[in-house]
Amino acid sequence: MERWEVPSNGKADLHTHTTFSDGALTPAQLVKKAKQAGLVAISVTDHDNVNGLDEAISAGKDLDVAVVPGVELSATFNRKEVHILGYFVNHHDEQFQIFLSELREERIRRAERIVQRLNKMNFPITMNSVLKQAGDGAVGRPHIAAAMVHEGLAQSYQSVFDDYLGNGRPAYERKVEVSPEKTVRLIADAGGLSFLAHPGRSLDDNEVDQLVKAGIDGIEVVHPSHSPWTVQHFHDITSENFLLESGGSDFHGGLRGDDDVFGQVTITAETVEIMRRRLFSHH
């Protein structure tokens, strides 16, 4: 396993997406954007997909941006979907690769069910147009929303989620359910650290506490959806539980219109180094 060289000072963003899930930029384009934004380290955390990491790492070496291999996985907890970020995973690990490809196949089946629901609601959307939006990416609801906008069936990306695809909306289909414990174990088996993503969005303290007991290594404290109060609150929780901290912009680009957060919502390179030290002291 590579010994990660992380610069000792500067800004880092450990939550980004590329065309290998639901982001607008290729891994190489994302790394270039990171360089332009003055970041010294990023993690590419595509949903259920690590296939963009080699390209990102290689671009990072050329441009002198440290790229931490990452992934974002979904777990089901209390009937809610929670996202867990995996960092420093060995993305070539065979078992991990097999698990992710099964998840991606399940994503396609879920998308097919959603498309059928939309068809019943008289939206002439096809699975073909959804797959075209996904390209290399792990197919998901964002691609369905993008296809709806592209085909002129909806005004905006967000309106598709608000009206049809969001949790409890008429075209919503549940994901395959994986427990937080299993997700944490899979990340650990691939040599990585697991972090609870943007907990301020939908979890109360009691739920966060239960997820800490599921064995997560840290919490994403810094996120665009977290107010300064929320950031402080999760900082306190990590301190109390001897957990690591992470953070990032959750950048997707394209239709999300989130260009303004990239390079602005960051953590220090030192925080990344603390994560790395924790990991390599274990191994």
| pLDDT for position 80 | 87
| pLDDT for position 138 | 85
Q: Quick one: angle between helices 141-150 and 94-120, nearest 10?
A: 40
Q: What is the CATH number of the domain that holds 130?
A: 1.10.150.650
Q: Is residue 144 part of a domain?
A: yes
Q: pLDDT at residue 236 above 60?
A: yes
Structural domain ending residue among the three candidates 165, 186, 203: 165
Q: pLDDT at residue 253 above 70?
A: yes
Beta-bridge partners for 41: 12, 66
| pLDDT for position 283 | 52
What is the average pLDDT across 232-260?
Answer: 94
- For residues 24 and 90, state if they share a domain: yes
Q: What is the average pLDDT value for the chain, to the nearest integer?
A: 93
- For residues 46 and 71, state if they share a domain: yes
Q: pLDDT at residue 23 above 70?
A: yes
Q: Is residue 170 part of a domain?
A: no
Q: pLDDT at residue 2 above 70?
A: no
- For residues 189 and 91, state if they share a domain: yes
- State the Cα–Cα distance between residues 149 and 145, nearest whole angstrom: 6
The number of folded domains in the chain is 2
- State the Cα–Cα distance between residues 59 and 64, nearest whole angstrom: 8
Q: How many CA atoms lie within 13 A of 40 on its CB side?
A: 15
- For residues 62 and 95, state if they share a domain: yes
- For residues 73 and 206, state if they share a domain: yes
DSSP 55-122: HHHHHHHHHT-EEEEEEEEEEEETTEEEEEEEES--TT-HHHHHHHHHHHHHHHHHHHHHHHHHHHTT
pTM: 0.91
| pLDDT for position 4 | 58
The token pair that represents 147 in the structure block: 């296809």
Give the 3-state secondary structure of residue 130. Answer: helix
- For residues 39 and 141, state if they share a domain: no
Q: Is residue 236 part of a domain?
A: yes
Task: Provide the domain limits for residue 65.
Answer: 11-99+178-282
- For residues 159 and 240, state if they share a domain: no
Q: Is residue 173 part of a domain?
A: no
- For residues 116 and 254, state if they share a domain: no
Beta-bridge partners for 81: 76
Q: pLDDT at residue 1 above 70?
A: no
pLDDT, one tens digit per residue, over 76-99 is: 998 888 999 999 999 999 999 999
| pLDDT for position 282 | 60
Question: What's the DSSP call for residue 47?
Answer: B
The token pair that represents 102 in the structure block: 């099964």
pLDDT, one tens digit per residue, over 150-206 is: 999 999 999 999 999 998 999 999 888 999 999 999 999 999 999 999 999 889 999
Q: How many CB atoms lie within 10 A of CB 241?
A: 14
- For residues 90 and 197, state if they share a domain: yes
Amino acid identity of residue 140, one-letter, is G
Q: Are 21 and 48 in contact (CB under 8 A)?
A: yes
Q: Is residue 133 part of a domain?
A: yes
- For residues 129 and 245, state if they share a domain: no
Q: Is residue 254 part of a domain?
A: yes
Q: pLDDT at residue 6 above 90?
A: no
- For residues 18 and 89, state if they share a domain: yes
Give the 3-state secondary structure of residue 142. Answer: helix
- State the Cα–Cα distance between residues 77 and 243, nearest whole angstrom: 20
- For residues 149 and 196, state if they share a domain: no
Q: What is the CATH number of the domain that holds 48?
A: 3.20.20.140
pLDDT, one tens digit per residue, over 32-63 is: 999 999 999 999 999 999 999 999 999 999 99
Q: Is residue 264 part of a domain?
A: yes
Question: How far apart are the two ends of the chain, measured CA to CA in Å?
Answer: 10
| pLDDT for position 201 | 87
Q: Is residue 141 part of a domain?
A: yes
